Amino acid sequence: MLKNTETGSLSFDFNSIDELHAAIGQLHLDLSLAVSHTRLFESFKIADLKLPNRLCVQPLEGNDADINGAPGDLTLRRYRRYAEGGFGTLWIEAVAIEPKLRSAPRQLCLTRANAAAFSAFAHTLRECARARWNHELCLIIQLAHPGRYCASAKPAQPVFADAPQDTERAISPAAPASLISDDQLELLQQSFIQAAGLALELGFDGVDIKACYDDLPADLLRAVNRPGRFGGSLNNRSRLLREVIAGIKAHHPDALIASRLNVRIDNPAETMELIRSLHSAGAVLINAVPQIATVEDASTEYAALRTLDQSARLTKQLRAALPDIAFVLGGLSRFRHLLPPLAAGLVESGAADLIGVGRAALAYPDMVADLVNNDTLHPECCCLNCDACTQLLKDGGRAGCVLMDNAIYAAEYRAHRSIATDYLKSEAERCRMCVPAPCRQGCPADIDVSGFIRAFLKDDITAAYETLRRSNVLPAMCAQLCPVNALCEGACVAGILDGKSIPIHTIQYVICREAAAAGIIGVRLPQETSGWSVGVVGAGPAGTACAAELLERGHRVVIYERSTRMGGTPELLISPSRFSGAAAEVEALLKPALLQGRLVVKYGCELGDNLSLSELQNNHDALFLATGLWGEKRLGILPGVIPGVDFLLQARSGRIRTVPHRVVLLAGGDSAMDCARFCMALGCRELLIVFADPLAQMHWHMPDAWFRTPGVHFLTMTRPLEYLADDAGALCAIQVRNRVLRQSAAECQPEEIIETQLVVEAMGLQIEDSARHALASLQFTETGLLSNVAADSFSCGMPGVFAGGALINGGDSVVRCVAEGRDAALEIDNYLRRVGIKPENKALLKNYSTIKKNPPKTASGTPYASIRFPTFSFRGSYQKS
């Protein structure tokens, strides 16, 4: 085996049995190649069980359980394929003994609550084997405590058996390391024993107490420096393992008890003593995982053969000395299509009772069937040792063979790789750290992109996040929703020089994810409050950004939100397949202010319904209006015709669960694109997107690749004319006309009738009539938006009333709304401090002319200088103190 230094994968140098045999002789190894594979298909008896053959699927975590820890659809699919493929023993991957002791959110976890699911899982696998092979499977379930990889809590809380010497191997190096006590280990024994009892009760044939790699029992076996009953001597270090096995044996005398165990190749005497003690406690099956003191250079040719030879020599000694124990030997996956003669040779030579197959089975679940039927393996189906399955698991994905099972796992692999820290660091290293930086100039929020990338490269997530939030308090939301190709990444010089921009938005998202896990995203509140109160109408991106900035400047804030949760359009309307988590980010940001009483959020408050402008003015010293646009441009009102906003609200909340097979969508912008996603997800087979102008004029921010799918059709340059109703008065068709751009305006295509039972009108958003009536005292633009008194001002022409977000920009990008909310807050803060209207002097605001003639005075009695009404233009000029 030779490591390919360019790709990191292992190249294969043995194209035939003769070449492999020659290498074994050249290296003087004690390995033999069997002429026949028949030994692999012999039955084998262990305890009271008769195993149908010698081939065993070793446990490989898939991270594909359901939310409760029960086997998920992909879990069942993997193991069904093994059972149908002919393997006699299935060693079910690491199953957490308690929900809090999981290494990943989707790790399997056995509890009383999901016991029925595990029972059905075992029953299904047995039925598959009986139907295909007419034999009885042996099912062993591996019980695990991940130790240093405990990740159920946020942040992760790794558990160590000894003082950690290499915390970089923990799942979160920054997380506090916890040294488990002797008392805790005593309690843990009972958790193992209870989980084992439940597994045996549910129909599994045996249980494995996992003691390999870095799980807690394996850590204990290495804890030579630990004091107390579980450290120091081998007798103490193996105490947990022995007493758990003995406890299971005492309650279940006939159970098959196994352990997947690190074996010390460099210290066979200790290994022998350890396994003998486990056998005395009740273990009858050992899955040997070699632990070598000196790790051989992986790039050395034939390293895999040397390792296999060392393992085989040790297990021969162990089997000779301990004949009542069965041994499983693995490590053969990398030999690809030459695995069968090596495996059969190991059985013939007495090095193993069972052959464990891990990644090779993941790639080639039918390998046993092909051996039985064809006496050979198909080389093109064998594991290529690309390590993508392991990488997918490390990246948090659902693991499977990315190459051989690419229809299931390839897209997930690419998605997780794109947000993996090691990949993003390699991309970040291409950043030129430009000064001035075009990417920063392309960002409406003026984020210091080079600054947060520099901190990211130094593993300083706190500094990276602080750099982001100085300009943008909702960086995670913006990272996933902003049209980055037209903003920061579109301006990145690497896009010109390298042909590929730095993935700025992805790096930003990962920084935010890590910051959220570390709990550092809340607003920073000053000790003293200003005494002023500001009302913010709307908890979308603009309203949230304004509220956060005001809170950090010491003001008290009341948010009035029409819905039952915060987040605005991103939370309420956008398809979850495109984005989710707006409310969670907003709530985490504002949580400190809510806890300290600096912020009050009032839900169910809608301007023009149960909220008036005059009421808000009476209750607050200043107002920020960020209600968004919830009105829809309508072509007509008819049963079967639904406005885009209403459709999104109902689809997002689950009130609409299905749509007709053909849907017509009258499009205009981003909301139409989200409507289209929901239509396809809800069962639409033919979606006709009607747009009256050229596609280039459509206002949207989303990639369009997904529209190039069967059933989605764009009808551009097509104008809707009227709806047609059936005898019951419900929609039955829509009449449209396609415009052709020719010299003669009269040259048009004839009118066309499209039969449909559902039309979604998403032609553009506007201010709702009720809100417009409530704001009648303010000025509006010709396009129906709120009018600012100056280009760079958020003042609406009425003292103390400001607006931002979609109300003034018509529904621009999320980052534009966040920037406007932030800048409006600076203007509001400047307004309050310059005018100096304390709550006790608020009556002065009642009459604008009075204020103009008699401006408020300072403590010395002199009027405040530079008081300007009704406009205050401070956008971008007021820096944080």
- Is residue 169 pLDDT above 50, yes or no? no
Give the Cβ contact number of residue 357 at 10 Å: 27
360, containing H or E segment = helix 359-363
Helices 339-348 and 17-26, packing angle to 10 deg: 50
What confidence category does residue 789 fall into, taking pLDDT thresholds of 50, 70 and 90?
confident
What confidence category does residue 485 fall into, taking pLDDT thresholds of 50, 70 and 90?
confident
Q: In sequence order, what are the residues at sequence separation of 6 or more whose Cβ sits closer than 8 angstroms to the Cβ of residue 695?
A: 714, 716
Using alpha carbons only, give the angle 640, 644, 648 rounded to the nearest 5 degrees: 100
Secondary structure class of 380 (helix, strand, coil): helix
CA distance 484 to 57: 46
Give the model confidence (pLDDT) of 674-689 as tens digits. Answer: 898 899 989 999 999 9
| Better pLDDT: 190 or 873 | 190
Secondary structure class of 374 (helix, strand, coil): helix
Give the Cβ contact number of residue 504 at 10 Å: 27
- Is residue 8 pLDDT above 80, yes or no? no
CA distance 621 to 801: 9
Secondary structure class of 541 (helix, strand, coil): helix
Secondary structure class of 643 (helix, strand, coil): strand
Q: Is 349 exposed, middle or buried (0-12, 13-18, 19+ CB in 10 A)?
A: middle
Phi-psi region of 628 (alpha: psi -120 to 50; beta: other; left: phi over 0): left
Q: Residue 130: how many CA atoms within 13 Å on its side-chain side?
A: 7
| Of the candidates 113, 134, 119, the residue with the CA atom closest to the CA atom of residue 76 | 119
Percent of the chain scoring above 70 in pLDDT:
88
Using alpha carbons only, give the angle 469, 470, 476 rounded to the nearest 5 degrees: 15
Question: Looking at residue 294, what is its pLDDT?
Answer: 42
Give the model confidence (pLDDT) of 413-457 as tens digits. Answer: 999 999 999 999 999 999 999 999 999 999 999 999 999 999 999
Secondary structure class of 669 (helix, strand, coil): coil
DSSP annotation of 191:
H
- Is residue 137 pLDDT above 70, yes or no? yes
Give the model confidence (pLDDT) of 744-779 as tens digits. Answer: 555 555 688 999 999 999 988 889 889 999 999 998
Give the Cβ contact number of residue 87 at 10 Å: 26
- Is residue 851 pLDDT above 50, yes or no? no
Give the model confidence (pLDDT) of 33-82 as tens digits. Answer: 998 999 999 999 998 899 999 999 999 999 999 999 999 999 999 999 99
- Is residue 242 pLDDT above 90, yes or no? yes
Range with the largest mean pLDDT of 109-113, 308-312, 751-755, 797-801: 109-113
Tokens of 568: 């605005």
Question: Looking at residue 749, what is its pLDDT?
Answer: 57
Cβ atoms of 644 and 675 closer than 8 Å = yes
Question: Looking at residue 164, what is its pLDDT?
Answer: 61
| Better pLDDT: 66 or 632 | 66
* Mean pLDDT value of segment 255-261: 95
Give the model confidence (pLDDT) of 705-744 as tens digits. Answer: 556 678 899 888 898 999 999 989 999 999 998 876 544 5
Average pLDDT, the chain: 87
Q: Which residues pair with 481 in a beta bridge?
A: none
